[in-house]
Structure 1
Amino acid sequence: MTVEDSERLYFGNLSMAFATDETFNIHVSGGRSTDITLADSLLALSLDKANHPDGRHSKGALICSTEGARFECGRISLLRNLFAHHRDRNPDIKATSIGPVEVINNVFYNPISQFGEIYDLAGDVSLIYAGNIVMPGPSTINNVPEGLQVFDWTEASIEIAAWGNIMPSRDGCVNGRSALLLDPAAQRAMTATSADTMATVIPAREAYAHVMISAGDTISGLRVHDSLDRLVIDSVFACTGKVIDSVDQVGGWPLLAESALIADSDGDGLPDDWEDVRTGVDSNIPDDVWAVDSATGLPHVETWLATLAGDIPDSTVAAR
């Protein structure tokens, strides 16, 4: 997924795998990307030696990649996500002075060469790094990289507030290898051991338990992890798995359970069983989702999303 020149977006409970290059990317091309959150999601198994023209290219997330000039990028939050089995960019961070990048309560597991990387190539960078869990795995090089590495290559400034992160040494897991959380350049860039955040920070060990249950395409009571997500999660628990070159190395694309497949006859994104009992929408008409629901005053698609989120009681929606 790439988000370009965009504002005020929230992505939650996504499962992303098998990418070549970035699994998740926030980009600016002469514009502005700000107030963007990726939360409770699973990013795993990006392909390394696959089809990228530069060769090995298994990448996690790139925050504020740039193109052109006069761009702004910041106020980005990565919250409670699971990163597993990427060569590097766990995540790769740039920014401008528009606002901080927050990396809070994520689990980072089994890179080959690098965990987090911070660059000043876009402008002044302010990073909040709190309550994260950083763990090497079977693919990680013997000289385990630090959790955060700083690359200060221009006159722009890099400031880091970091606290509450852990890099546990697990018995039986790659011989308990671990490293420092901050490399020397990151230690020099440290300005605080706490900071005002846009999101709540919970203790790292509590975050680990939450992420391993809730990250990815799962919603309590509605949808469970598919077989691929389960394989990734189990590999983190067991300290197994590896960075891959082909989807076939992990059994290919998962088959979704029938219960996860929602009938949508007109392909408009709204389930048939929702449209069939409401006024003003029809499960056989694909372009009625933007018509206004008479009970809420919102387009039907917004009414449906707000109902799912619990912002509007289901009884409020106009019924036939």
Structure 2
Amino acid sequence: MSFRSIAASFAASLGIVATVLPAQAADLAFPGAIGYGAKAEAWKGGDIVAVTTLADDGPGSLRACAKNGNQPRVCVFRVSGTIMLDSPIRVGSNIYIAGQTAPGKGIQLRNRNSVLTPLVVKNVRQVVIRFMKIRPGPSITPSANVDAITVEDSRMVYLGNLSMQFATDETFNIHVSGGKVSNITLADSILALSLDRSTHPKGKHSKGALICSHEKKENVCGRITIARNLFAHHRDRMPDIKGTNLGRIDVLNNVFYNPISQFGEFYDLLGDVTIIYGGNAALTGPSTSGRTPEAVQVFEWKRKRRVSLMSFNNKRGTATGCNPRSFAVLNSTAKARRIPTTSGPFSAPVYDSKHTVYNVLTQSGDRMPGEVHLDWLDKQVINDTLKCRGRVINHPEEVGGWPQVPNVPPTIDSDKDGLPDHYEASTPGLSPSQPNNPWARPSGSSLSHVETWLAKLAGDLK
């Protein structure tokens, strides 16, 4: 069955079973934004800057656009292909990196000489990053710091529809180092195929996500949403979570497939933490060890600290096509730390877990309506999860390496107003030959021209 057929078959299955924290549409980063990071909107009204080259640095590069001096900015792509990095791209505040604007199969980030994480969101706020492929690969020398994305000491960040593979540390990391992390969303993304026996100094180190890792003192970390993501082919950390009493960490409607040793581990090492774990699907696969762990393991190692866990409507079992396995959702400590289940409000909608696998597999990763940008590597990970295939790997070549993302003819913006010619030509009131105000709102609309364009590309407007 094609992905489009699956989507059609299950489009009506999003039955909401919980209330959501209220938000006005005008306050959202984009229509349909969910979670604690949904109001990352301070980029609105800013400059629209075109990425016109695949070069690592210099005029027209993504690095130049991301380094915005914290001035409101939207980065749009006129090119497609792979950007090879010699150092991390540091993202500024008040910015929207709009990968959905890239033509062809989109934008892929890959390390060349860099031994660090490709995309770093550190000491900033009000950031949106959507529709990109971030696949660093082994470092040229051993390194303990190659995630796909790291968020550190930052607030109000929305990460959505990302495809993240080939990291050698955890694939996604939220880190706090003597500061505060809050109001973060990771949604609709694929985190897969982290490398196990690769270039991490500790040896075997295939990891999914580490939430609220910490160093230094006086750390504050909370109000985080992890929703509608596919985690596949990691040794463990699906996900590992710490936190403080700043606010809850919501883990909602994710698929966790084929760990070697463990799914999720929740700790009290940073402080008292409340975690909502609802509507998820934990599935064993070919790499999973014979002693299948619980889907959630709680560990309390500090006196006078506690993990409080609300767990409801979670599915656990084996992906279709493998021998069935039986294991519990919660370990004994997790059961002892359960708090009463409510109907919310939660930071994002929650649907019944019997629909989680299909919904996530038809929506996650760098894709747009018509499956634009969706490449063979993401399709392979999705098929693995559907059919109980694949395994944890040590090198990208074990799954065919990096997809070749073609550099197709660039998108044209003749009047340099930020909106491409083809969009202006098909939109009443706009002209491809005469600059328009991209932040003007058409009559009767709550969105500006540029917001409408970005939302239509992304499929945000139904």
Which TM-score bucket, shorter chain as reference? 0.7 to 0.9
1:254 aligned to 2:399? Answer: no
How is 1:69-148 mapped onto 2 (pairs within 5 angstroms)? Answer: 69-148=217-296
Whole-angstrom distance in 2 between the partners of 1:305 and 1:45:
33
How is 1:13-28 mapped onto 2 (pairs within 5 angstroms)? Answer: 13-28=161-176
Counterpart of 2:375 (choices 226, 235, 238) is 226
Q: 2:205 — aligned with what? A: 57
CA distances 1:164-204 after superposition (whole Å, capped 9, x unpaired): 0011345641x211311101111111112335211111001
Whole-angstrom distance in 2 between the partners of 1:222 and 1:17:
19
How is 1:194-273 mapped onto 2 (pairs within 5 angstroms)? Answer: 194=342, 196=344, 197-221=346-370, 223-256=372-405, 263=411, 273=421
- Amino acid aligned to 2:179: G
Whole-angstrom distance in 1 between the partners of 2:151 and 2:294:
28
Counterpart of 1:307 (choices 432, 439, 453) is 453
**Equivalent position SS for 2:350:** coil
Aligned residues: 293
Q: Sort the Cα spacing of 1:15 and 1:262 in 2 relative to 1 into closer, same or farther, 3 A.
A: farther
**Equivalent position SS for 1:215:** coil
Unaligned runs of 5+ residues in structure 2 are 1-148, 425-430, 442-447, 458-462
- Amino acid aligned to 2:230: L
Whole-angstrom distance in 1 between the partners of 2:340 and 2:434:
55
Whole-angstrom distance in 1 between the partners of 2:220 and 2:181:
6
Whole-angstrom distance in 1 between the partners of 2:364 and 2:166:
17
CA distances 1:225-279 after superposition (whole Å, capped 9, x unpaired): 20000000001111010000000000000123566x75479xx9x6764699376
Whole-angstrom distance in 2 between the partners of 1:11 and 1:294:
23
- Amino acid aligned to 2:193: L
1:277 aligned to 2:423? Answer: no
Residues 156 and 182 in structure 2, CA contact (< 8 A), matched pair in contact too: yes
Counterpart of 1:193 (choices 327, 334, 341) is 341
TM-score by length of 2: 0.59
Percent of aligned pairs sharing the same letter: 47
- Amino acid aligned to 2:296: L
Cα distance, 1:157 vs structure 2: 1.0
Unaligned runs of 5+ residues in structure 1 are 282-291, 297-301, 312-320
Q: Sort the Cα spacing of 1:115 and 1:222 in 2 relative to 1 into closer, same or farther, 3 A.
A: closer
Residues 156 and 183 in structure 2, CA contact (< 8 A), matched pair in contact too: yes
Q: Sort the Cα spacing of 1:305 and 1:20 in 2 relative to 1 into closer, same or farther, 3 A.
A: farther
Q: Sort the Cα spacing of 1:50 and 1:294 in 2 relative to 1 into closer, same or farther, 3 A.
A: closer
Q: Sort the Cα spacing of 1:61 and 1:170 in 2 relative to 1 into closer, same or farther, 3 A.
A: closer
Whole-angstrom distance in 1 between the partners of 2:453 and 2:420:
15
Whole-angstrom distance in 2 between the partners of 1:80 and 1:127:
16
Q: 2:309 — aligned with what? A: 160
Q: Sort the Cα spacing of 1:170 and 1:42 in 2 relative to 1 into closer, same or farther, 3 A.
A: closer
Cα distance, 1:102 vs structure 2: 0.4
Whole-angstrom distance in 1 between the partners of 2:258 and 2:419:
38
Q: Sort the Cα spacing of 1:294 and 1:140 in 2 relative to 1 into closer, same or farther, 3 A.
A: closer
RMSD over aligned Cα atoms = 2.6
Q: Sort the Cα spacing of 1:256 and 1:178 in 2 relative to 1 into closer, same or farther, 3 A.
A: farther
Q: 1:287 — aligned with what? A: none
**Equivalent position SS for 1:214:** coil
Residues 50 and 245 in structure 1, CA contact (< 8 A), matched pair in contact too: yes
Residues 319 and 386 in structure 2, CA contact (< 8 A), matched pair in contact too: no
CA distances 1:127-171 after superposition (whole Å, capped 9, x unpaired): 000000000100000000110001100021110000000113456
**Equivalent position SS for 1:167:** strand
Q: Sort the Cα spacing of 1:51 and 1:171 in 2 relative to 1 into closer, same or farther, 3 A.
A: closer
- Amino acid aligned to 1:203: D
Q: Sort the Cα spacing of 1:206 and 1:162 in 2 relative to 1 into closer, same or farther, 3 A.
A: same
Whole-angstrom distance in 2 between the partners of 1:41 and 1:117:
20
Residues 87 and 114 in structure 1, CA contact (< 8 A), matched pair in contact too: yes
